[in-house]
Structure formats: structure tokens, C-alpha cells
Amino acid sequence: MTEPIMRVEHLYKIFSLQNTRSKEKEAYEALQKDTPLEEVSKHYQVMVALNDITLNIEEGKVLVIIGLSGSGKSTLVRCLNLLHIPTAGKVLYKGTNILDYSPSQMQEFRRTKVAMVFQNFGLMSHRNVLQNAAYGLEVRGVERGQREKQAAAMLEMVGLKGWENKSIRSLSGGMKQRVGIARALTNNPDILIMDEAFSALDPLVRNDLQLELLRIQEKMQKTIVFITHDINEAFKLGDTVAILRDGKLIQMASPEEMLAKPADEYVKRFINTVDTTKVLTVRSITEVPGALVREGSGAALAVKVMGVNGVSSAYVLDEHMHYKGIVTLDSALAVLNGAKSYDEALITTVPCIKNPETLITDIVKISANTGFPLPVVDKDGLFLGIVTKAAVLTSLQK
């Protein structure tokens, strides 16, 4: 199994209300003795923002951390680059604890390995779009021509080609956030941290940027840690979703796993507003039909298979399990009567789903307008099964 690019182990972050570091340590030690959290908070005058968090961040994947205000999600990501110094625990980057870094190592880590995109954009109004996007490389001492070339390429990727010389003040909120994303990507970090980056945007712009981020991720395969309080956004963007509550990690799973097996009632309530068609994939509702026939087996066998299974159509595969088409009972009988050839009887116009990870929401209209269950194949064309109208409708009601 591949090692995660980053891992946090038994991470605690305790804030002293009296701004006293010793109180944080005393509170931590009390928690290790199983002292109730409420008692610790009151006696030591502290707030336990993170309480024994352990999780992996997989390379090239999107981890979305979600929770209500005060759950600890922003504190957690700020521990990943030591904007907050953990009270206890480890933050491992490629197996090395960054808490052991020297000041120069930490500076290099922040400049080259991790980048942040903030909710409030964090752009400099006295610099134009290109200068903002190139700022990180400028700080690193990269010469102007090279840094501006790299920044321009990232601006084009986020849809801002032609805006390089525009003032920041002239941009909409969505465009400013695109500049923020371009600035982070220009540094070519290993890990991109996005702290509620789309929360301040209106719904239409937010949806556009979500799709933009997925497109960028498909192309660049960055490791992204994304913070949000919106469960639909979390399930749309995340390969893995982690739910925090009062500084504790309640569940960490893929969106589909979390929908199928929520850890507790809190998670159930948290995700009960999710639009499942925008989370569940075709793979989750694909079933193997009973009526399957090989391409060269003939119309007589096709009729028999349909009879045994009580259906009026069968799915035809070649010898290598590639989907070829559908034969109906009427057309198979026509072949036996000599009215048409087997090739003429084969229906090849039914839309085929060529990626089992396609979202159900993307096939609703196709399924409704097609007279047969939709065949599903993998990237190599191998037949996986079919998706029925009933399965699509059932998913809409979950």
C-alpha cells in the first residue's frame, strides 16, 4: 500500500483562554488521564480545538474536511503547515515530522511543498493579476521572465487568459478566487490547502469553481485538502470526506461509503440533505442481467435464455466479454423465421455508459429517454452490467 503524503497522529490543539502555554500542557495531560472534556475546559480555562485526531492524506487525492463552526476543521489544516503549533501529536510529511524542522526547513516547506487558498482571497490590490499569481515565485527568487511565464500558464488554466494586466479591483469575487488558485498552483506545491475557499461566493459562481477545481485536479492530480461546511460540496469534490465534531474525528470515508454506512446518528443527520444523485455513481446501481448471450451462439439460444429469465431482450457479448448490442425476442424470432440476419437483428443504438464512475445525475435524462436498461462498460470496453430505470428512480428517492 502506498504511503500517504501526509499523516497526522494523535493530534491535539488546545488554546488557553489566558494565553498561557503551560495551561495547554496541563490540560493535555489531564485528557490523557481520561478527565472529562468539560471538566478540563472549565478547570484549566482552555478550549480543546483538536482532540486526538489521526488521519492520512493520500497523494493525488482530494480530502474534504467538513464540520459545523467550531468543529476544528480550520484549526486542523492550520496545523498542517504549523500556522498553529499543535499541543501534542505528530504531523508527518513523507514520513518526517515537520514539528522537528528547523526554521529554514519550515520556511522551505511553506514556500515549496504546501500552498493555501483562503476564503477572503488574500490578493494584493496594488499588483495586477499576473503579479499576484507570480508572487510566490518572486519571493523564492525566481527570475521575472520565468515566474511570469509559469503564472500566465496557471491563469490560462483557471480561465483568466487575457486578464493578466488587469487590476485586482476590476475582478468579480469568482475571478479573484481564480487568481488565488492560480497563485497557489504557480508554486507547484505538493499539497494545496483550501480553507472554505468558495464559501463567500454566490451559488452559481461557486458551482462553476467546483467544476473548475475538478477539471484542474483531473489534469494536475494535486493533493488537495479542502475545508467546507457544505455537505453537498464535500461529496461533490472529495475522494474522501472527514467529518469533525467538537474537535473529534467522527468518520472518514468515501462519499459512497459514508452514505451507505454512516458512523452514527450525528453523521446520519449531517448528510441527510445530500443530493445522492450527485454523489452515487453508476457503478453503485449496476446489476448483471440474467439474459446474456455470446455473439456467435445464435438466435435459438437467445430465445431460450430470454424465456428462462422471463424477459423480452438479451445483451450480446463477444468472446472477449465486450458489449456488442441487444437482441429482442421479436427480432430473434424473425431471425429463426428467416426474415432477417442475426446482424440485422442486433440493436446497437442504445447509449452505452463507458465510465462506471459517472454520476447518476448525469444519466437521468438518458435513462428516461431510452427504451432499454443502459449497458455499462469499463475503460477497456468490458461489459460490467446494466442500469435500469427502476435503479435510477430509486436512487433519486434516497
Please count the other Cβ atoms lying within 10 Å of the Cβ belonging to residue 218.
8
Task: Give 58's DSSP letter.
Answer: -
Are 215 and 358 within one domain?
Answer: no
Domain annotation covers residue 348: yes
Among the three residues 255, 274, 293, which one is the final residue of a domain in this structure? 274
Are 294 and 369 members of one domain? yes
Contact 121, 112 (CB under 8 A): no
Distances (CA, A) of 7 to 56, 121, 145: 4, 27, 37
What digits encode the pLDDT tens for the residues 108-126?
A: 999 889 988 877 777 888 8
Cell output for 29: 495531560
240 and 104 in one domain?
Answer: yes
pLDDT tens across the length of the chain (398 residues): 678 999 999 999 999 887 777 888 899 999 999 999 999 999 989 999 999 999 999 999 999 999 888 899 999 999 999 999 999 999 999 999 999 999 999 999 998 899 888 777 778 888 889 988 898 888 888 889 888 898 998 888 888 888 889 888 888 888 888 888 888 888 888 999 988 888 777 777 777 788 788 878 888 888 999 999 888 888 888 889 999 999 999 999 988 888 888 899 888 888 876 666 666 788 888 888 888 888 888 889 899 989 988 999 999 998 888 999 999 999 999 999 999 888 899 999 999 999 888 888 889 889 989 999 999 998 888 899 999 998 888 776 65
pTM of the model: 0.69
Q: Is residue 247 part of a domain?
A: yes
Residues 99 and 227 in one domain: yes
> Are 80 and 21 found together in one domain?
yes
List 62's β-bridge partners, or say none: 224
| Domain extent for 362 | 283-396
Domain assignment of residue 151, yes or no:
no
Quick check: is 259 in a domain? yes
Does one domain contain both 256 and 330? no
> What CATH number is given to the structural domain containing 316?
3.10.580.10
What's the total number of domains in the chain? 2
Whether residue 389 sits in one domain with residue 295: yes
* Contact partners, residue 193, CB within 8 Å, separation at least 6: 77, 80, 81, 114, 115, 116, 117, 224, 225, 227
CATH number of 42's domain: 3.40.50.300
Which of 243, 274, 305 is the endpoint of a domain?
Answer: 274
- In a domain? residue 121: no
Whether 359 and 340 map to the same domain: the answer is yes
Write the pLDDT tens digit of every residue in 272-307: 766 666 667 888 888 888 888 888 888 898 999 899
Nearest to 187 by CA among 159, 158, 160, 147: 147
86 within some domain:
yes
